[in-house]
């Protein structure tokens, strides 16, 4: 029994169609996986941004406290200098 060329053409078209459908499914899954990975990266970025904001606020608070301490020390030194001038 021999298969004629019309049957071979139909089988080839069916095989190409199946391959196209399978590649579309694989590409769709890859895109979904890519979007999921982007979502994870976005979440990581948001976490880092939140951590940075907290760290920046903490640093700002520490700098304000240091500024107040330095101002107090400056007043004390000025007071000591005045006393030294009065005594000496």
- List, in sequence order, the alpha helices (H) in the chain: 5-87
Between the alpha carbon of residue 49 and those of residues 16, 25, 38, 56, the distances in Å are 49, 36, 16, 10
Domain ranges of the chain: 29-88
Q: What local confidence, expressed as pLDDT, does residue 5 receive?
A: 81
- Reported pTM: 0.48
Distances from the Cα of 23 to the Cα of 20, 26, 29, 32, angstroms: 5, 5, 10, 14
Encode pLDDT of 5-64 as tens digits: 888 889 999 999 999 999 999 998 998 888 888 877 778 888 889 999 999 999 999 999
What would the pLDDT profile of 60-84 be if each residue is shown by its tens digit? 999 999 999 999 999 999 999 999 8
């Amino acid at each position: 029994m021999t298969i004629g060329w019309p049957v071979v053409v139909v089988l080839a078209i069916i095989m190409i169609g199946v391959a196209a459908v399978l590649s579309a499914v694989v590409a769709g899954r890859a895109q979904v996986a890519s979007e999921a990975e982007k979502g994870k990266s976005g979440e990581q970025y948001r976490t880092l941004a939140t951590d940075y904001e907290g760290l920046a606020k903490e640093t700002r608070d520490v700098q304000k406290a240091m500024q107040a301490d330095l101002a107090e020390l400056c007043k004390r030194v000025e007071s000591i200098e005045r006393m030294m001038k009065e005594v000496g």
